[in-house]
Every structure is written in structure tokens, then in C-alpha cells.
Chain A
């Protein structure tokens, strides 16, 4: 791949560019070398091809593994958050007996809360996760492009 080819990359990736610019500037020195297959936005892709047989101890492989780890951590944190919040919500309904005795449209408030209360929580957790997961990917993208 020539330098020109990798320079032509970013305009094609326009949606990807803004998040990359948002990330903080990297204070460490950036190594500038002659054009090679591993440079530019194609770094990860070439790592992907190289991974076939040989070791992936190169920097692109490290980036991919750290992306996977951070996405997994994110998923687990959000899943636990949802489960714990739901459990607390249900516990709160269970320990407040007044909710069983307060009727709205002839239905106890405790039933209405359990019947409708968990959904907004699920949607909120989901929406927050999408933003956080995209942020992880943008960070990865910035790293892979800087390499």
C-alpha cells in the first residue's frame, strides 16, 4: 500500500473522523517512519490478515484485545447495573405495604409499578450503553489511526 492510498482513506471515513478529533491530543512522541503496510487506518485490517497463523504480539493486535476487554467490561457493568437497579426497585415495592393499599384506577400501585416501571430502566440502560460502546470504538479508532 502506498502513502497516497492511506491518505485517501480519511475522506471516505468521514463519519469516523469527528470522534477521532474529539479524543484528547496524545502527549507522547509519534513515530514517523517510511510507508509500510501497518500504518494508517488500515493498521487493524492488516493485523487482521496477519493473525492467520503467526503471533499477534504487534501493536495492532494489542489494540484489538484491549478494545474487546473494554467492551466486555462495559457490557458487564451495564448488565450488573440493570440487574441491581431492578432488584432494588422490586425490593422497594415489596417493603412498602402502602403501595399495595393505594389504588389507581382500581389497581394497586405496587402492581402498576412492577408492570410498567422496569421498562424505562431497560431503555435508559440501553441508550447509555450505545453511547459508551461507540465511545470505546472511537477511542480504538483514534489509536489505530495514530499508530
Chain B
């Protein structure tokens, strides 16, 4: 592959992001009131912005790579990423918008009237955010290595530095249209190559005949039930607790608009995920060698050039590289913004200086982790973060919104239990599974048992809490569920 294309595409996206970030700095200064702005954001813009922030390296590169690697079991990842928003719609969207909380720690503190519940939630949000950024940086490392031939670490460092600078400088905050633009860039960057390949590939002979490329043994009929169910639990419930998702909902004017936005997000994600899926299918037929070389996650980057040589192939390659970098940058900056918000508020006194320090900290801790660890498959790593989120923040959110008897002690006990169980399974599972192979699926996909245990602990400790439910619980629950027109009738 022509390295110049890689340099040009990466530099263009980096410069564009920086420019938009600094231009956005001026916008966010002139926008006197975030609330005023929020009421003018239309559901379509808002939904695009949510999609832009949500679609990460795992979606852009990881899914196609995993389809190439493991077959149709990988199709459950995009299904889960999308259906997670259905769960968000059914149980969280409108109440959380009405709660008035910007972040999940804000929500738990207000709901449970407890600073300790807030601190535990903040810690979890920071851990989740860091481990969610790591695969983005590893995706950047892979992209730089494959497309430019530079050492892989350059990609991780570049993304971490760009994100830290943009966020610390104050850009990317509450700039809905930047994230919305990123969504459409990512969609275009996958859709146009897929369409072009389907149009021009007629005379290229597939490397494998269809029967060999799509064996029944890797097909939908050969379903590992426990793993699939556990993955679905992780993805469906993990989406509820992602730190960067909640703040986007705040730009909806009310709960009803939050619901409408979420349905549009469902539509946008459904359309988007058709294209990584198509890339995966094309890869199985035309580039099966990538699966054995360990670069399956680079499939999206390499396939256009392989199938369409010449200038058109170069243009398409530049497009997918730009889309990939947009994915790393938008997800990472969305996460760093929410992490820096939490860190600066809880640890550094909430000053602007504190926010800047926190932004740098939020980018560089995951950078160290990304450089120190061996990259695993992108989709799989992000799937584990979802399992951890589902076991820790999801029980508190769901019970906090729907169950009157939840107490701060119950919430803390549940979060700690979920964190310890899923954390041990994810980090230490390999060692245990080596001696007890029967437990391997339980440890590699822990959500199916860690989430119920965390919920059970939360419920039992809450019921046994002699201090009873927090004061103001009924008032808070009414605020979450009563439609806005009733709670604020013309402020009369």
C-alpha cells in the first residue's frame, strides 16, 4: 500500500479535528447558555451526535475483523451494540433526561443522597472510560502500522496527544454538530467503499468458493448458547452505563424528545452496521489470508486497495483511513471529556485548570495501558468493557430509576461486587481457565452471571439496610417519571 495515502488521510483528519476543536472553542464561548442551545438541537442532529460518539474502533474495524476471524458468531456484536440502545430507550432514556443529571455520579448522588455512592460510581466511570479508550488507541496503532509502515506506538501516541490537546483546550465540549458530522463521515467512509467494491469486483475471482468461505461450522446454526447469551447481556445492559452516552441525552429538551432521539439512534446504527458486516463477508471471500496473519482487524483498511487497484483504490483507502481515525478521535475525545469532568469535579475542585489536568490524565493513563499490553481483538476488548459496565453501573441505574427501596449501601455493595467479580473474571480469567478449562466460557464472557449476582446483592443489602430509603426518594422518582408539562406548568 502507498504510505503517502496513509500520511495524507491521517494528517487531514488530525488537522480537521484540531481546527474544529479550536473553532468550537470560540463557539462554546459565544454560546452564553448551554440550556438555551440544548433546546434548539433537533432529534436528528442529536441522534447523529450520539452515533458519532458511540461508533468506535470496535465498530469501525473490529466487527469486520471478527467476522473474518470467527464467522457468524461475530454478527452478534453489532446486534448487541444496537439493541443496547433499545434497552436504553425502554428503561433509561426519558427518566435519565428528566433527572437533570449530567453524569452517572451526579445521578447516583442525587438519587441516593450519598457522597460515598457518588465516589464509588465516579471511580467506576473512570476505570470504564480508561479501558474503553485503550482499544481506540490500539486501533490507531494498528492503522498507522498497516497504512504508513511507521512503528505502531506512533498511532497510539498521536491519538492520545491530539485528544488531550483538543479537550484540554476546551474544544469538543457540547459541540453536537462535530460529533454529528463524525457519524456521517464514518458511515460514508464505509458505505462508499462497499458500494464501489460491489460494483467493480465482478471480474475479481474470490480467493475461496462460497461454500469454503462461509462454512456451516462457522454459520448461524452453530451457536454457542452460553457465550452468545452472556455477550448479549453484556452489550444490551452495558450500553446503559457508558460514561459518554448520558451527557448527550441532556441536549434533548425533554423526556419525550429523548425517546424520539433514541429511536433515531436505533435507525442510524442499524444502517451503519450493515457496512462493517458487508466488509466482513467480503473479507471472508476475498481476503481469508488476513485471518491467519493476525491482522484481521485491518481488513477494512486493506480490502479496497486489494480489490480495486489504481487511483480509485487509493481514494477509497484514504477514505477508510480517515473514517477509522474519526472513530478513534471522536470516541476517545467523548470519553476524555466525560472522564475529565468526573475527575476534575471529584478530585480537583472543579476548576478549569483542574479540568485541563484531568483531560491530560484521562488520555495518558490509557496510553500507558495501550502501550504496555498486547492488543487483543478490538471487538472482543470493547465487549469486555461492556461486561464490566453491565455488572457495575447498570444495576444501580436500573434499580435507581425503577425501584423505590434502593439504598446507598445496597448500591455500593452491588457495584463493588459486580466490579470485583467481573474484574477478576476478565483480568485473571486466563490463568484460572488454564487449570479449569470447564470454566473458560464463564470467565471469558462473565456478564450472564456477574450481572444477576450484582443485582441480587444490591437488592438484598438495600432490603437489609436499617437506615431505610433516602429522604426525598418519592420526590426524585416522581421527577424521573412525570412528564415535563405536568411538573413545570408554565412555572406558574
Residues on A close to B: CB < 8 A? 1, 5-6, 8-9, 12-13, 15-16, 40-42, 44-45, 47-49, 51-53, 56, 61, 64, 67-68, 71-72, 74-75, 78-79, 82, 86, 90, 93-95, 97, 100, 103, 105-108, 110-111, 113-116, 118-120, 122-123, 125-127, 129-130, 133-134, 137, 140-141, 144
Known: A107-B281, A110-B219, A137-B483. 4 other contacts (CB 8 A): A1-B492, A8-B492, A108-B219, A130-B259
B220 pairs with A122, CB closer than 8 A: no
A133 pairs with B259, CB closer than 8 A: yes
B489 pairs with A13, CB closer than 8 A: yes
Given A140-B482, A141-B483, A120 contacting B489 (CB threshold 8 A): no
Contact of A122 among B83, B274, B402, B485 (CB under 8 A): B83
Give A86 to B231 CA distance when docked, in angstroms.
14
B86 pairs with A67, CB closer than 8 A: no
Q: Is B351 an interface residue (CB 8 A)?
A: no
B486 pairs with A44, CB closer than 8 A: yes
Given A41-B486, A71-B481, A122 contacting B223 (CB threshold 8 A): no
Number of contact residues on B: which range applies? 35 or more
A45 pairs with B475, CB closer than 8 A: no
Give A121 to B486 CA distance when docked, in angstroms.
33
Give A6 to B479 CA distance when docked, in angstroms.
20
Q: Is B490 an interface residue (CB 8 A)?
A: yes
B75 pairs with A115, CB closer than 8 A: yes
A-B contact pairs, 26 of them (CB 8 A): A9-B489, A9-B492, A12-B492, A15-B485, A16-B485, A44-B486, A45-B488, A51-B474, A51-B478, A68-B481, A74-B90, A78-B90, A86-B83, A100-B221, A110-B219, A110-B220, A111-B75, A114-B75, A115-B281, A119-B82, A123-B270, A129-B90, A130-B263, A141-B483, A141-B485, A144-B486
**Residues of B close to A144: CB separation below 8 A:** 486
**Residues of B close to A51: CB separation below 8 A:** 472, 474-475, 478
Q: Is B70 an interface residue (CB 8 A)?
A: no
B490 pairs with A8, CB closer than 8 A: yes
Q: Is B158 an interface residue (CB 8 A)?
A: no
Interface of A is mostly: helix
Smallest distance from the beta carbon of A47 to chain B beta carbons, Å? 7
B486 pairs with A93, CB closer than 8 A: no
Q: Taking CB as reference atom, which chain B residue is nearest A113?
A: B220
Give A1 to B490 CA distance when docked, in angstroms.
13
**Residues of B close to A106: CB separation below 8 A:** 206, 210, 213, 285
Contact of A44 among B206, B262, B478 (CB under 8 A): B478
